[in-house]
Structure 1
Amino acid sequence: MEVKLFDGFSVELLARIQFAFTVSFHFIFPAFSIGTASYLAVLNALWLWKRDPIYLKLFEYWKPIFAITFGMGVVSGIVMSYQFGTNWAVFSDKVGPVIGPLMGYEVLTAFFLEAGFLGIALFGRKRVGDGLHMFAVAMVAFGTLISATWILSANSWMQTPQGFTIGENGQFLPADWWKIIFNPSFPYRLVHTVLAAFLTTAFGVGAVGAYHLLRDKSNRQARVMFSMAMWMAAFVTPIQIFVGDLHGINTLEHQPAKIAAMEGHYETHRGAPLILFGIPDDEAEVTRYAVEIPKLGSLILTHSLDGEIKGLKEWSKNDRPKALIPFITFRIMVGLGVLMLLVGLWSLWARWKGCLYDSRVLHRASVLMGPSGFIAVLAGWYTTEVGRQPYTVYGLLRTSDSLSPIAAPAVGASLLAFIIVYFVVFGAGVFYLLRLMRRTPVLVEDHELDHAPTRTAGITPGPTQDLSGVRHDV
């Protein structure tokens, strides 16, 4: 009997799975490289300011990790973009006049900026001098932020479109670029995503520092990277939670069906409960096994105990998202955010008690939290993208009307190829990154300092005091 591998899968489903798969691989690399680029800039600035060789060593430790992450992000992004032509040709034709220039601006500004200064940042310290090298490192970090700005502007426009007209052939034509770029959801999504990238890096760096502290709690490099990471976790996580609240209010205003799916509400409520756990059932239009806190849902979203939250029944089944995925992924994102907050507060308490570098329980918890940022950004991305369905341009262009005229087996075959190649190539890359992170950070050797720029020519830094009170002659 002949078995067809992709029987029962529509072109739309396969194309969406393929894009979700490739964007998931792509997104984790920029989420880390954005934060790592800024971390390198801070380390380099501290080295130039204090001339403490520990910051130079940490810069050199994280530099290859950033370079590999950056490279894998670029490669995975290029591959992902081809799908606009292969699987989503109608979408590309309809929204090209709007999305195309935004993507082009990203290349002309961010990518050229990063490419122009990356080589100097990675290899030019001894060739161009302190000032230009610091400028190059800062420009690479700035370039990653510009890249995020253009990409999020394009994606936010798909969520909250404005500033356009519809042409005779159904194309979206720019009418006001300021409104297109600064669409209603863009500021919230940009800040929320950039802070998520910083937290992803903070918990990644913190996990590496904690891992090496578990092996040797006197390792000064591990102490410094762990301390810096915990400061970031402690102060940025509360800000991220506040920004997330603002983003939720904005989403309630512009995409209420998405909020209904995220919250698992099928009925419209005044004084809506917060559903902590449950299983949304779209067929029965009820969230089964719901564990609720009365009125808290309305309080969080509307800042009123009696605020109205629309349920999914306000929209026909064909015009609303399926609730299960955004319901689950939203809770994963929020749950990890709460754990990040707790670890940050725990680190402040340990710092105050003087046991930040001695608490093995905190170190083990930090190692376990290492992947939390990556999982959280993916969960948030799934919440955003699945919650936008059944549209590619919210309320205006349906996903089913955005597809290329292509057969399901062709999409399925390319999806299978992507899965195999991605797991081999990027799996090897991630394995190598983990090996780099397992390297024990050690003090800068004398021969390295002999070639490093100093405040006074011919003079190398003298003894330094490590954080544990033990002197090291460097």
Structure 2
Amino acid sequence: MDSFLGFDAVTLARIQFGFTVAFHFIFPAFSIGLASFLAVLNARYLITKNEAYLRLFKYWIKIFAISFAMGVVSGIVMSYQFGTNWSVFSDKAGPVVGPLMAYEVLTAFFLEAGFLGIMLFGREKVGNGLHMFACLMVAVGTAISATWILSVNSWMQTPVGFSIGENGQFLPEDWWAIVFNPSFPYRLAHTLTAAYLSTAFIVGGVGAWHLLRGEKKNVGVTTMFSMAMWMAAIVAPLQIFLGDLHGLNTLEHQPAKVMAMEGHYDSHPDGAPLILFGIPDSENRTIRYALEVPKLSSFILKHDFNAPLAGLDTIPDDEEPPVAIVFWSFRVMVAIGMAMALVGLWSLLSRVRGRLFDDKWLHRVALVMGPSGLVAVIAGWITTEVGRQPYVVYNTLRTADAVSPLGAQAVGASLIAFIVIYFAIFGAGIVYLLKLMHVPPQPGQRGVRSEPGPIRTAGHTASAPVATGTATAK
């Protein structure tokens, strides 16, 4: 069999797509949340005339512009693989997937691109009203873009509303059923919430960094940290609830994925344990060194401690997903979600005690948790996609039958090229973003004219330079 470094063409194509998607995914996840954060900041500034919000808007909009650009570029490169490594999938699923991807471009990308320039550079040219409208349209556009992409992905997870033509193509029969397929509402809510939560923790991490560096009197720093912690306190528990609903939906439509997530090689007729940690051993069909809570998995999934749960022993061997990957990626995602909720609760206690900006340990933990949302997003994506294997369209088209007829050498060479180029280009972009975040928001930023005066905040008045200009951020 043709191979490259011991991997066949199918495995290499999967690794390449997984690598490019994981790199791409972090930028839209960040820009979706950041676009909404910027819209909120701009609205708060227009309502309150508090210059701290304008200062934060100018601070984060430069970071948003770079992240948005890297997301667009990485997405375009990723899409080429549908024609190179996955041409059979494109041919067979194209009649369903193609129109949905086109709708994403027509309704979302054009909306974002059309108003992005006004958002970035148009405040003085079009006035505050139209500029605010542009900010809202960019935020809405990012959410609509995610909606169409998640509809496509959800249809691949729970395909409905189609028939199979004589040439093996998926032919759409009911577009409403295709778009609003059974897993779509749950995946959309879970993913969008994850994007907003990821952005909140990045913003909170940046705020915590500057608080630890002695910027407690910088109103921009305290404002961003306070807003981020409010999001953590409110949205993290909501995300856990949405994740539970999504898991129940997955159990109904993709039971093998849940079996792998839970590590249930065997069926449990009188209540399944919740395996907290362990080492999956697929050869011996067991979880080694398992730390488990009796019957808790049945209670979580069926709301009954004694409810029976089927295991992977009911699934044909050639239809089982890779248990170890799904098992651990799921636990990474859940552990980070729980940690986020705890940070949110901690911030509430500190806020009530009046120590939100003085609690150094909270700031240290928030700094460490800064990139955690992006890690959780990637872990969740791995759980979803690897858990669907061995199918690319669940129960209908196998991954091995969807790959292009390419040799392993060709796919392996392009994979190495992607790795080198991505780390060089996008790595440099990420380093530049971190440099921008390293500098605290200041009233003397380029594009903002400063003069001495008091800054009004909700809680106090501090003597500091006030930004009086409204020039665009560059």
- Shared fold by TM > 0.5? yes
Question: 2:97 matched to which residue of 1?
Answer: 99
CA contact (8 A) 1:163 1:180 kept: yes
CA pair 446-247 structure 1, distance change in 2 beyond 3 A: closer
Q: CA deviation at 1:445?
A: 7.4
Question: 1:234 matched to which residue of 2?
Answer: 233
CA pair 418-447 structure 1, distance change in 2 beyond 3 A: closer
Q: Secondary structure at the match of 2:305?
A: coil
Does 2:362 align with 1:362? yes
Question: 2:471 matched to which residue of 1?
Answer: none
Does 2:238 align with 1:247? no
CA contact (8 A) 1:51 1:461 kept: no
Aligned counterpart for 1:69 among listed residues 46, 67, 70: 67
Question: 1:464 matched to which residue of 2?
Answer: 455
Normalised by the size of structure 2, how large is the TM-score? 0.95
Aligned counterpart for 1:145 among listed residues 125, 143, 146: 143
Q: CA deviation at 1:339?
A: 0.5
CA contact (8 A) 1:165 1:173 kept: yes
CA pair 49-98 structure 1, distance change in 2 beyond 3 A: same
Q: CA deviation at 1:61?
A: 0.1
Q: Secondary structure at the match of 1:309?
A: coil
Q: Secondary structure at the match of 1:12?
A: helix
Question: 1:415 matched to which residue of 2?
Answer: 415
Question: 2:223 matched to which residue of 1?
Answer: 224
Q: CA deviation at 1:6?
A: 1.7
Residue by residue, what CA displacement relative to the aligned partner does 1:345-378 show, whole Å, maximum 9, x if unpaired? 0000000000000111110110000010010000
CA contact (8 A) 1:465 1:472 kept: no
Does 2:6 align with 1:15? no
Kindly report which structure 2 residues correspond to 1:34-183, keeping only aligned pairs within 5 A, or say none: 34-183=32-181
User: Which segment is superposed worse, 298-307 or 224-233?
Assistant: 298-307
The number of residues matched between the two structures is 462
Distance 2:260 2:3 in 1: 31
Residue by residue, what CA displacement relative to the aligned partner does 1:253-300 show, whole Å, maximum 9, x if unpaired? 000000000000011113100000011111211111111000110111
Q: CA deviation at 1:184?
A: 0.3
Distance 2:375 2:383 in 1: 12
Does 2:393 align with 1:402? no
CA contact (8 A) 1:218 1:468 kept: no
Query: Letter of the aligned partner of 2:72 in structure 1?
Result: V
Q: Secondary structure at the match of 1:324?
A: helix
Question: 1:453 matched to which residue of 2?
Answer: none
Residue by residue, what CA displacement relative to the aligned partner does 1:281-340 show, whole Å, maximum 9, x if unpaired? 112111111110001101111111122221111111101101000100000000000100
Question: 2:294 matched to which residue of 1?
Answer: 294
Query: Letter of the aligned partner of 1:236 in structure 2?
Result: V
Q: Secondary structure at the match of 2:448?
A: helix
Kindly report which structure 2 residues correspond to 1:365-384, keeping only aligned pairs within 5 A, or say none: 365-384=365-384
Does 2:258 align with 1:267? no
Question: 2:472 matched to which residue of 1?
Answer: none
Q: Secondary structure at the match of 1:78?
A: helix
After TM superposition, the runs of 4+ consecutive aligned structure 1 residues lying more than 4 A away are: 444-447, 466-469
Q: CA deviation at 1:464?
A: 2.7
Normalised by the size of structure 1, how large is the TM-score? 0.95
Q: Secondary structure at the match of 1:448?
A: coil
CA contact (8 A) 1:57 1:444 kept: no
Aligned counterpart for 2:189 among listed residues 180, 188, 191: 191
CA pair 322-275 structure 1, distance change in 2 beyond 3 A: same
Q: CA deviation at 1:449?
A: 5.4
Q: CA deviation at 1:448?
A: 2.9
Q: CA deviation at 1:446?
A: 12
Question: 1:212 matched to which residue of 2?
Answer: 210
Distance 1:469 1:126 in 2: 28
CA contact (8 A) 2:443 2:465 kept: no
Q: Secondary structure at the match of 1:261?
A: helix
Question: 1:456 matched to which residue of 2?
Answer: none
Query: Letter of the aligned partner of 1:145 in structure 2?
Result: A
Distance 1:473 1:411 in 2: 57
CA contact (8 A) 1:295 1:305 kept: yes
Q: Secondary structure at the match of 1:355?
A: coil
Query: Letter of the aligned partner of 1:232 in structure 2?
Result: M
Query: Letter of the aligned partner of 2:455 in structure 1?
Result: T
Residue by residue, what CA displacement relative to the aligned partner does 1:160-202 show, whole Å, maximum 9, x if unpaired? 0000011011110000000000000000000000000001000
Residue by residue, what CA displacement relative to the aligned partner does 1:196-250 show, whole Å, maximum 9, x if unpaired? 0001000000000011111122211110000000000000001000000000000
Kindly report which structure 2 residues correspond to 1:422-461, keeping only aligned pairs within 5 A, or say none: 422-443=422-443, 448=448
Query: Letter of the aligned partner of 1:190 in structure 2?
Result: L
CA contact (8 A) 1:465 1:471 kept: no
CA contact (8 A) 1:52 1:461 kept: no
Residue by residue, what CA displacement relative to the aligned partner does 1:411-432 show, whole Å, maximum 9, x if unpaired? 0000000000000000000000
CA contact (8 A) 1:38 1:141 kept: yes
Residue by residue, what CA displacement relative to the aligned partner does 1:31-59 show, whole Å, maximum 9, x if unpaired? 00000000000000001000011100100
Unaligned runs of 5+ in 1: 451-459
CA contact (8 A) 1:265 1:311 kept: yes
CA contact (8 A) 2:24 2:74 kept: yes
CA pair 78-260 structure 1, distance change in 2 beyond 3 A: same
CA contact (8 A) 2:455 2:461 kept: no
CA contact (8 A) 2:28 2:68 kept: yes
Q: Secondary structure at the match of 2:356?
A: coil
**What CA RMSD, in Å, does the superposition of the two structures yield over aligned residues?**
1.6
Distance 2:121 2:456 in 1: 29
Q: CA deviation at 1:7?
A: 3.8
Q: CA deviation at 1:5?
A: 8.6
CA pair 52-445 structure 1, distance change in 2 beyond 3 A: farther
Distance 1:53 1:393 in 2: 51
Distance 1:48 1:444 in 2: 20
Query: Letter of the aligned partner of 2:366 in structure 1?
Result: S
CA pair 305-124 structure 1, distance change in 2 beyond 3 A: same
Query: Letter of the aligned partner of 1:246 in structure 2?
Result: L
Unaligned runs of 5+ in 2: 467-474
Q: Secondary structure at the match of 1:463?
A: strand
User: Which segment is superposed worse, 306-315 or 185-194?
Assistant: 306-315
Query: Letter of the aligned partner of 2:285 in structure 1?
Result: E
Q: Secondary structure at the match of 2:306?
A: coil
Q: Percent identity?
A: 65
CA contact (8 A) 1:90 1:401 kept: yes
